[in-house]
Amino acid sequence: MKKQEIPVVLATLVFPVRGIEVMLAEKVQKIGAGCLNGWGGKVKTGESLRACAAREFFEESCAKINEKDLVKVGIVHFTNHNTDRSVFICVVHVYTITRWTGEIVSTREMKSPAWYRRRFVAREKLMLADRYWLSKMLSGKKGIVWAEYGPHQQTLIGDVCFEPVDSFEEE
């Protein structure tokens, strides 16, 4: 019997931070629509993780960042089950940023950017798994996360696991 391969999507996510605050915006479309999140998306063929993070941040916020200013705080493995019983895994490399050029504004993908206190982000406005790992990463803990979603990311299957790490290898 042949083992079925599970497709893996590689993506990035960027959270602007200043002092005790983090900027979040409401995702307008695709996975997480209606929830608060950072800025990011899929890595293109031949593109580095940092280049993807900078490109996606600009496309979704209209502000520019320098890849060298990105601080990697996590890697999140999302296993996603679809209604047709297919499964895909999204591996998201998570960064914070403290410097950018230009104003972060609403776009067709992310709307109403606003500052939130890192410790008091409105948990009910985050995607289900993000409620378990985001505050840890925003408080300075680096980690690797595993989370499994049911169809349409409406339910979690099992526990969200956070494994602390001291650092990440340079990309």
19-76 tens-digit pLDDT: 999 999 999 998 899 999 999 999 999 999 999 999 999 999 999 999 999 999 999 9
Q: What does the mean pLDDT of the chain come to?
A: 94
Domain ranges of the chain: 8-165
**Which CATH number does 8-165 carry?**
3.90.79.10
What's the pTM value of the predicted model, to 2 decimals?
0.94
| Residue 11: band (very low, low, confident or very high) from pLDDT cuts 50, 70, 90 | very high
How far, in Å, CA of 88 to CA of 4, rounded?
Answer: 11
Q: What pLDDT shows up at residue 122? A: 78
Which residue carries 């493995």 as its tokens?
A: 77
For 33-141, where are the alpha helices, taking DSSP H only? 49-61, 130-138
pLDDT of residue 3: 58
Contact yes or no for 37/27 (Cβ under 8 A): yes
The values of phi and psi at residue 141, to 5°, are: -85, 130
CA atoms within 13 A on the CB side of 161: 10
